[in-house]
Amino acid sequence: MSEVRRSRIVVKPSAWFWYITTIVSLLTLIVVAGFGVGTIVAFSGSLTLFVGGWWSVLYWLGIWLSIGAFNVSIVGSFVAKRREVRAGYTTVPMLFKHVEWRDHATGLVLRQPGEPTPLGPIKELRRAAMAAADVQ
């Protein structure tokens, strides 16, 4: 029975990967935009020099790359979530309660469909899922 509880993840990369990628790319965009505008205002006293110089090329490159990464991660997240739900599971626990929640790294079933989402550190949830798989 433990083979049933330790199912493999069908969709690679998982929706969890895309969720984390979305957060990181959005934070990168916020930091790059804030750093650039704050630096320019602090050192020049105005935004008139915002579009000139070699450093502005690096700044705009950082902005556009982080915007691109954010957009790609949004699309990847949407596609991965649909594929996972069609396969009967999810790796993002709070979105879909009607399918089982599997650990994104191990494939362990951490929540059965319709049950409340367990809380706590992922190590303890994995330990509990392995113990439940051994009991059955």
Res. 46: pLDDT tops 60: no
What is the model's pTM?
Answer: 0.74
Choice between 36 and 75, residue whose per-residue pLDDT is larger: 75
Binned at pLDDT 50, 70 and 90, residue 59 comes out as: confident
At residue 55, does pLDDT exceed 90?
A: no
Burial classification of residue 6, based on how many CB atoms lie within 10 Å of its CB (0-12 exposed, 13-18 middle, 19 or more buried)? middle
**Residue 136 reports pLDDT greater than 50:** yes
Q: What is the mean pLDDT of residues 2-12?
A: 58
